[in-house]
Amino acid sequence: MIQFYTPDIEETLTLPETESGHCCRVLRLKEGDEIESVDGRGHRFRSEITLAHPKHTKVRILQRTDVEPARRHKVTLAVAPTKNIDRIEWLLEKAVEVGVDRIVLVKCEHSERKNVNCERLEKIIVSAMKQSLKASLPQFDGFVQLKEFLKGEAEAVSAGDGKQRFVGYCSDEVERRSLAGEYAPGSDAVLLIGPEGDFSPEEIDMALKSGFTAATFGEMRLRTETAALYGLQSVHIANDIAHAHAEK
């Protein structure tokens, strides 16, 4: 099944240009054909094509469905982009597939990469949402300074948002706890993963002061993008396990 992304279908009754092209040029759909789409805000639509235009395909909405989120816990993934951008593109695709609610790319002291093409990454996030048939698009904050990100997190902590915050850190100069042991199923989480060169001591200090717990994600030495996905899945799987045992 093909799922289109139509963020403003209810207002415009029109597919975005790229989706119109995919619909008419690639798939050769015609007037009267039915399509499925999501608005990225939790709604799925079944529509009938009324005008098969390669740039501005018009539709009539036949059905609007509120898609219940598959999971209750929300996860924010903040990660320093890797030197090799393919690894981050891969991570974003996988993160969206397994489920993530907010993605932040953070610029760190030891980051080798100074720029990222956020537009391209946004496209990857959208196509991963479509491919995995999700109806909600994760919030993507782009590439921000670590200090800015931590400032916002510290404010959220003082506001008492009750999220659990973990920062993956390699150096054992700081006491670290196991993410698997510390995360409480059901709670929202914020995961922060540093660059290949790890965080600087000052950055870790700042993270701890901003409400993060220094964490290990396992016994293994993992690449940045593997650690990010492993951390994200640790949260999901802790919930899967709690949920499965609650059902027994």
We find the least distance from the C-beta atom of residue 70 to a copy of itself, in angstroms, to be: 4
**206 versus 235: smaller Cβ distance to a copy of itself:** 235
**199 versus 230: smaller Cβ distance to a copy of itself:** 230
Residue 17 near residue 56, CB atoms below 8 Å: yes
Cα–Cα distance between 183 and 197 in angstroms, integer?
A: 26
Helix (H/G/I), strand (E/B), else coil: 178: strand
Chain residues 56-75 in contact with a copy of itself, contact rule CB under 8 A: 70-71
**220 lies in the site for a copy of itself, by CB under 8 A:** yes
Residue 144 near residue 78, CB atoms below 8 Å: no
**243 lies in the site for a copy of itself, by CB under 8 A:** yes
Binding mask 221-240 for a copy of itself (x = CB under 8 A): xxx--x--xx--xx-xxx-x
Helix (H/G/I), strand (E/B), else coil: 98: helix
We find the least distance from the C-beta atom of residue 172 to a copy of itself, in angstroms, to be: 15
Chain residues 152-211 in contact with a copy of itself, contact rule CB under 8 A: 178-182
Q: Tokens 């492993």 map to which residue? A: 230
# residues contacting a copy of itself (CB under 8 A): 36
Task: Give the C-alpha distances (Å, rounded to integers) separating 213 from 67, 75, 176, 209, 240.
Answer: 33, 15, 7, 9, 23
We find the least distance from the C-beta atom of residue 222 to a copy of itself, in angstroms, to be: 6
Among 131, 139, 145, 171, binds a copy of itself (CB under 8 A): 131
**Binding window for a copy of itself (CB under 8 A); candidates: 57-65, 127-135, 142-150, 192-200:** 127-135
74 CB-near residues (< 8 Å, 6+ apart): 101, 102, 163, 188, 189
